[in-house]
Amino acid sequence: MHVVRALLRGRSVNVANSVFSKGHLGVLGRSFSSLRMTPSLDTYIDKVRSLNINSSNLSDIDTAAIAFEFFRQDTDKEQVILAMATKKDKELLAMEKEKEKELLAMAKEKEKELLAMATKKEKELLVMEKEKELLALSMEKDKELATQKHENEKRCLVALRRRDLSAMSKRVVLEALLRDVVAAIPHNEDLKKKLQDCTLVSAAGIKLLLAGASSVKMTTVNQALLYDTFRVAAWKAIGISLDVPFPRSLNSEVVYGDLSYAIHSPSLNEVYLSSALGEKSDEYLFFQEAAERVNRKVELFNPEDAALSDRGA
């Protein structure tokens, strides 16, 4: 192997001649053949021998030296080509990597743009959805306000109607109750006796009451019932609880005219009372009892609602 190393370092052929013998040629061929797969050194030796040269003048060592020189030159060329190829491959690899890097950067930038566009679109959709919700809420609120306004107007109209009919509805049930009282007087000695104590009632009025006349004035019966002794006797006679008071401040619209006036008025199924009276007031307690006697029910109205509707009209 030291001979192979000497030749690789560029030693002269004469040096090779001094150390090689004819039998070393096959060893040299096998040694160099181990350095390369193909072509082998034997191939180069055969090539040298086939050249148009008088090869008989060449010794085996000279032939090997020449073959080795060819071998070395081709090997150097191959190394140069391999180096160039490796450099080219590296350059191509670097270019591929740079291209991949650029494509990746472009992809990331595109992804960023798409994400920005998507985010913008989502924001726009979110704003649109929010505006839609606000519009729906506004419409719902307007609807509620319109419904509430309608209900308020309806309630006020009902209150106004009830207020306008209040005096008439009270007059109907009051007249029915007072007719029962007047009808009971001629047949009830206690009522006749108590009637004599009603000093504010005129003599003519006393006479009509004693006779049970239907032409007696409402104010006359009202005056008599303001006396507790007469009222208690009257309630006892017609079957009303003695605790039921008789209101002392009935409106003149209720007690005017003859006792038979209400029979010419429209029939009403309710008695309309102002909610401002209070459920413990004499007027409320009285008309609740009077309405029940004639199979009617008490309905309340808010005077403020009635006033609002009145002003609106």
Considering only CA atoms, which of 311, 312, 178 is closest in space to residue 257?
A: 178
Q: Identify the pLDDT of residue 210.
A: 93
Asked whether the bond before 303 is cis by omega within 30 degrees of 0, the reply is no
Per-residue pLDDT for 18 more than 50?
no
| Mean pLDDT calculated for residue range 85-102 | 81
Q: Identify the pLDDT of residue 207.
A: 93
Confidence of residue 28 (pLDDT cuts 50, 70, 90): very low
The answer to whether the CB of 143 falls within 8 A of the CB of 250 is: no
Comparing 285 with 117, the larger pLDDT belongs to 285
Per-residue pLDDT for 78 more than 90?
no
Considering only CA atoms, which of 28, 88, 22 is closest in space to residue 59?
A: 22
Long-range residue pairs from 299-302, CB within 8 A, at least 24 positions apart, any chain: 299/162, 299/270, 299/271, 299/272, 299/273, 300/162, 300/272, 300/273, 300/274, 300/275, 301/158, 301/159, 301/162, 301/163, 301/166, 301/272, 301/273, 301/274, 301/275, 302/155, 302/159, 302/274, 302/275
The answer to whether the CB of 301 falls within 8 A of the CB of 162 is: yes
Q: Identify the pLDDT of residue 97.
A: 84
| Mean pLDDT calculated for residue range 209-220 | 88
Rounded distance, CA 214 to CA 191, Å? Answer: 17
Q: Identify the pLDDT of residue 54.
A: 52
Q: Using the structure block, give the residue that is written with the tokens 């005017």.
A: 256
Per-residue pLDDT for 15 more than 50?
no
Rounded distance, CA 230 to CA 135, Å? Answer: 70
Comparing 303 with 8, the larger pLDDT belongs to 303
User: Could you tell me which residues are beta bridge partners of residue 300?
Assistant: 273
Task: Express each pLDDT in 239-250 by its tens digit.
Answer: 988 999 988 877
Task: Express each pLDDT in 52-68 by its tens digit.
Answer: 455 556 677 777 777 77
Per-residue pLDDT for 36 more than 50?
no
Task: Express each pLDDT in 300-311 by its tens digit.
Answer: 999 998 888 877
